């Protein structure tokens, strides 16, 4: 399976993603933002970080970058596109995913382990994961998901919510919402479920000596489902 990780100036989780993809069997390549073409891939990943410094609005410049047209074409032709953290923000900026990511409710950067509940397994990203709740890691300042009522209705009608913040038992209520995200949304799909954007970083949870190992389940499933 071939994957491509796009490096924007300011990306900083690109290496971590590369390590994770290779660990679980992907033949991964790194693609520079100024390139026009993406090599043949089964999966494209937009990694975390601060693309172009994120000074204007998170992901906004990356959303207009040279490489992004190829990403959009790939996604529109049904290719798998995964955006983690800043990658999620970029995907909302391109319009491939609905909604936006605002600054966290308590205005602070948050770096900690969280639990997320898998809301939809009818897709390649979560299909064979046996658990219902995963322990993942977040590290962001702008992860507070928001969208209009109409968009929310459409997201819900189309089962586009991928994961929600919850406790270890799967209660995805306000008490377990770290950043103020609407409906505790931690990740969403497009309608066709080939595009996934999520704030938590599975690539930081692939080793018992790190924050945990549930990220491994995510990548194991991904390579199996492809």
Partner 1 sequence: MIEVNEKIAIEHGLKSDEYKKICNLLKRTPNITELGIFSAMWNEHCSYKSSRKHLKKLHTKGNQVIQGPGENAGVVDIEDDDAIVFKIESHNHPSFIEPYQGAATGVGGIMRDVFTMGARPIANLNSIHFGSPDHEKTRNLLRGVVKGIGGYGNCIGVPTIAGQTCFDESYNGNILVNAMTLGLVNKNKIFYSKAAGINKPVIYVGSKTGRDGIHGASMASAIFDDKIEEKKPTVQVGDPFTEKLLLEACLELMAGKSIISIQDMGAAGLTSSSIEMASKGDLGIEIDLTKVPCREENMTPYEIMLSESQERMLIVLEEGKENEAKKIFDKWNLDFAVIGKTTSSKNIELFFKNEKVAEIPIDFLADNAPMYDRKWIKTKLPKENNFSKEQFKSLKLGDCLKKILIDPNIADKEWIWDQYDHTVMGDTIQKPGGNAGVVRVHGTNKAVAASVDSSATYCHAHPLTGGKQVVCESWRNMISVGAKPIAITNCLNFGNPEKEKNMGEFVECVEGITEASKYLNYPVVSGNVSFYNETKDKGIKPTPSIGGIGLLSNYKEMMTMELKNEGNYLLVIGKTEGHLDQSVFARNILSEFNGPPPEVNLFNEKQNGMSVLNLKNKNLIETCHDVSLGGILTAISKMGIRSGRGVKLFPLESLVNKFEYFFGEDQGRYIIEIKPENLENVENMLKKDSIHLDKLGLVEGNKITLENDLKLSIDDIKEDYKNWLKEYMVN
Out of 27, 69, 108, 173, point to the residue binding partner 1 (CB under 8 A).
108
Is 111 marked active-site?
no
Among 117, 183, 193, 204, the residue binding partner 1 under the rule CB under 8 A is 204
**Residues in 38-57 at the binding interface with partner 1, rule: CB under 8 A:** 48-50, 52-55
Binding region for partner 1 (CB under 8 A) out of 8-16, 76-84, 88-96, 190-198: 8-16
CA distance 220 to 199: 19
Quick one: 39 exposed, middle or buried, by C-beta within 10 A (0-12, 13-18, 19+)?
exposed
Q: What span, in angstroms and rounded, lies between the C-alpha atoms of 24 and 47?
A: 17
Interaction of residue 111 with partner 1, rule CB under 8 A: yes
When asked if residue 137 is in the footprint of partner 1 (CB under 8 A), the reply is yes
Pairwise CA distance, residues 136 & 163, whole Å = 11
Q: Show the DSSP H helices in the chain as ranges.
A: 14-23, 68-76, 86-94, 149-157, 214-225
The answer to whether 112 and 138 are in contact (CB under 8 A) is yes
Residues 6+ apart with CB under 8 A from 156: none
d(CA 218, CA 201): 10
Q: How far is the CB of 79 from partner 1 (least distance, A)?
A: 26
- Among 13, 58, 85, 166, the active-site one is 85
Q: Is 85 among the residues known to form the active site?
A: yes
- Which one of the spans 75-83, 144-152, 160-168, 203-211 is the region binding partner 1 (CB under 8 A)? 203-211
Residues lying near partner 1 in the complex (CB under 8 A) are found at 9-10, 12-13, 15-16, 19-20, 34, 48-50, 52-55, 108-112, 137, 139, 141, 201, 203-204, 206-207, 209-211
Q: Which residues are catalytic?
A: 85, 201, 203
């Amino acid at each position: 399976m071939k994957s491509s990780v796009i490096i924007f100036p300011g990306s900083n989780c690109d290496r971590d993603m590369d390590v994770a993809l290779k660990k679980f069997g992907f033949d991964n390549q790194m693609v520079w933002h100024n390139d026009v073409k993406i090599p043949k891939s089964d999966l494209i990943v937009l990694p975390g970080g601060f693309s172009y410094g994120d000074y204007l609005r998170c992901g906004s410049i990356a959303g207009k970058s040279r490489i992004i047209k190829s990403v959009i074409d790939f996604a529109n032709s049904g290719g798998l596109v995964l955006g983690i953290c800043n990658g999620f923000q970029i995907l909302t900026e391109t319009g491939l995913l609905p909604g936006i990511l605002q600054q966290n409710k308590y205005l602070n950067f948050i770096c900690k382990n969280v639990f997320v509940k898998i809301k939809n397994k009818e897709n390649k990203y979560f299909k064979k994961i046996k658990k219902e709740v995963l322990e993942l890691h977040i590290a962001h300042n702008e992860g507070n998901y928001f969208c209009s009522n109409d968009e929310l209705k459409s997201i819900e009608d189309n089962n586009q919510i991928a994961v929600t913040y919850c406790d270890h038992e799967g209660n995805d209520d306000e008490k377990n919402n770290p950043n103020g995200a609407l409906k505790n949304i931690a990740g969403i799909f497009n309608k066709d479920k080939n595009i996934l954007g999520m704030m938590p970083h599975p690539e930081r949870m692939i080793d018992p000596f790190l924050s945990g190992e549930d990220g491994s389940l995510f990548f194991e499933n991904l390579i199996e489902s492809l």
